[in-house]
Every structure is written in C-alpha cells, then in structure tokens.
C-alpha cells in the first residue's frame, strides 16, 4: 500500500530547475486516480505511515524535516497541512505562518525571521509561506523593497538573483546539518481559484477566510506564475526539491503531499535508539524492582 502511495511523487518532484516550465504541469491532474474515495483510503494509510515515521524521528533526535508550503490564495495550504499531519504527535511538529514582516523583522536580513523558526532535531517544521515570499511577492511588487530598510546601492537589478543564491546556500547548509528540506507549490488554476473565492463569499462559515487582498493579488496572476516558475528554476536541488502539486482537487493534492513526506522521512533511515549493555542492565534491574 505504501509503495503504491509513493508512486504519486515522481511526476511532480523537481530536483533541477534547468528545464522547468510551469505550463508542463496540469493543476487538474490526478494521475490514474479517478475516485476521491480511493484517494482518501490511500491518504488514511499514508497518515498512519507518517505517524509511525514521526515517532522514530522524534525518538532518534538526530534529523529534522522542514516542509515549506507556497501557493496562490485558496490553493489549499491550510487544509493540506491539517489533513496530512493529522496523525502526528503535536509534540513533534511545529507550524509557523509568515505574513507581512514586522518592524523587528525588517531590522534584520530577509532570512532572519524564518531561521529563528527552523525545526529542532527530532521534529517536523512546517512553514506556511516562508522566505520564498521575498522572491515571489516582492518580485511581483518590487516597491516593497523600498520599505525593507536596505541601503539603496544594494537594490540593484541583480537583487533577486542574489536572493536565489542566498536561499540555495541556506538550504545546502541545512542539509549538511541534518535538516531535510522539501518545498511544495500547490499549483491551482485561475479558474479553480475563482470558484473557491466565490465559495468563501457565499458560505457564511467560510466568510472569515475571504480578504480583499486576495482579489487584488489575483490581478497579478500572470506575474506570479512567472515568479513561481523562475523561483523553482533557480532553487530546485537534490538537497531541497520542489513538488509542483496539482491543487485543483484537494483530495489528490493531499495524497501527493503525504507521499512526499513519507518518502522524505524514509530516506533518513530512521530507527528507535538502541540501548547499550549498561542501559539494558539497568532496565533488567528496574524490571526486577517493579516485579
């Protein structure tokens, strides 16, 4: 069953952005699955596997896993995190959302606020948006740079190329120090986003999710797609791959994400700590005492 789930990863995993083109990825793709019920059954099994692997990750206390979620509004980031990580022990998982930088955060470099939130060894860290906003939103709205307190001579035509380089260096550094980085772009179509935004307006239980900013950013759709394509081209590596997840069908996107998390954790060769002879002797002594 688990090997079947992991089959859903490869078509969407990008480890080199050299020939990447976003138009080659269909937001409505569901591989060979045509049944939501079948996908949910597979996801249920996947969640159990994630839970078992997370227990070993926590007990071993050597590796950490960083999952980064980026997407246009209404693509389903929150729901994906909620469902895929639903079986994980809360003690072993940390979730942080990054919105507009605070005054304190603007007094530091653009990587500072996320670096402070990196997962500890033994834990899964989740970034709902991340430092990638600095080459996505800021690229689409370059006027933001004027408010980032940067010296004017540093705001050049090369600034985003430099930021890609800084990001690659950070992710290489993390990989070398035991943090496995995996990045998800939830690839939703403009038409499907339109449907979901309308749903937020029509459903009183979803009204709170709606923001006028969503509509304003929607006007820059093409610019965002160009920014995402360039970002994935420049920052997809073997150490920190991107997954371009079809997001028009939430039941399928959650399955792909679960498969990627399973694959990432299994690649770490996790195991419960083995006791040495002295520790085993202490356990036997404790057992006799309790008996």
Please give the backbone phi and psi of residue 174, each rounded to the nearest 5 degrees, phi first: -60, -45
- For tokens 């307190």, the residue is 149
Tokens found for residue 213: 């900013």
Beta bridge partners, 182, equal 67
CA gyration radius for the chain? 21
- Contacts of residue 254, defined as CB under 8 A and 6 or more positions apart, other chains included, come to 39, 43, 76, 79, 80, 83, 84
Collect all residues with Cβ–Cβ distance below 8 Å to 39 and sequence separation of at least 6: 30, 33, 251, 252, 254, 255
The sign of the dihedral angle between the CA atoms of 73, 119, 102, 106 is negative
Closest CA to 183 of 223, 232, 116: 232
DSSP strands (E only) in the chain:
13-14, 64-71, 93-97, 124-128, 179-187, 242-246
pTM of the model: 0.95
Q: What is the pLDDT along the chain (291 residues), one digit of tens a residue?
A: 677 788 888 999 999 989 999 999 999 999 988 889 999 999 999 999 999 999 999 999 999 999 999 999 999 999 999 999 999 999 999 999 999 999 999 999 999 999 999 999 999 999 999 999 999 999 999 999 999 999 999 999 999 999 999 999 999 999 999 999 999 999 999 999 999 999 999 888 888 888 888 889 999 999 999 999 999 999 999 999 999 999 999 999 999 999 999 999 999 989 999 888 898 888 888 888 988
Q: What pLDDT, on the 0 to 100 scale, is given for residue 139?
A: 97
The CATH code that applies to domain 2-290 is 3.40.50.300
**3 state SS of 65:** strand
* Beta carbons of 118 and 59 less than 8 angstroms apart: no
pLDDT score for 200 = 93
Q: What is the pLDDT, as a whole number, of residue 3?
A: 74
HSE, CB side, 13 Å, CA atoms: give it for residue 239.
14
**pLDDT for the residue 1:** 63
Cβ neighbours of residue 287 closer than 8 Å, sequence gap 6 or more: none
H/E run at residue 111? none
Identify any residues that bridge with 94 across adjacent strands, giving them in sequence order.
125
Say what the pLDDT of residue 214 is. 81
Whole-number pLDDT of residue 148: 94
Query: Rounded to 5 degrees, what are φ and ψ at 204?
Result: -55, -30
């Amino acid at each position: 069953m688990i090997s079947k789930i992991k089959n859903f990863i490869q078509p969407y995993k990008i480890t080199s952005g050299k020939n990447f083109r976003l138009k080659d990825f269909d937001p409505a793709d569901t591989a060979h699955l045509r049944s939501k019920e079948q996908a949910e059954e597979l996801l249920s099994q996947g969640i159990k596997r994630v839970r078992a692997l997370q227990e070993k990750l926590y007990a071993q206390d050597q590796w950490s896993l960083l999952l980064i979620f980026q997407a246009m509004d209404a693509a389903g980031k929150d729901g994906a995190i909620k469902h895929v990580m639903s079986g994980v022990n809360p003690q072993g998982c940390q979730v942080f959302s990054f919105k507009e930088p605070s005054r304190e955060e603007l007094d530091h470099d653009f990587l500072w606020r996320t670096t402070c939130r990196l997962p500890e060894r033994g834990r899964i860290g989740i970034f709902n948006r991340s430092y990638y906003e600095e080459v996505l939103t800021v690229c689409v709205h370059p006027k933001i740079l004027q408010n980032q307190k940067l010296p004017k001579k540093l705001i050049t035509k090369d600034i985003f190329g430099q930021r890609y380089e800084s990001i690659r260096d950070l992710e290489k550094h993390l990989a070398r120090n035991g943090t496995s980085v995996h990045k998800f772009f939830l690839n939703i179509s403009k038409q499907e986003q339109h449907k979901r935004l309308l749903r937020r307006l029509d459903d009183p239980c979803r009204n709170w999710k709606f923001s006028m900013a969503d509509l304003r950013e929607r006007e820059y759709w093409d610019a965002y797609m160009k920014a995402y394509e360039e970002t994935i081209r420049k920052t997809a590596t073997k150490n920190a791959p991107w997954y371009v997840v079809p997001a028009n069908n939430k039941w399928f996107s959650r399955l792909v994400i679960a498969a990627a998390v399973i694959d990432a954790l299994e690649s770490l060769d996790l195991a419960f700590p083995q006791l040495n002879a002295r520790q085993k002797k202490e356990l036997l002594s404790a057992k006799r005492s309790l008996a």
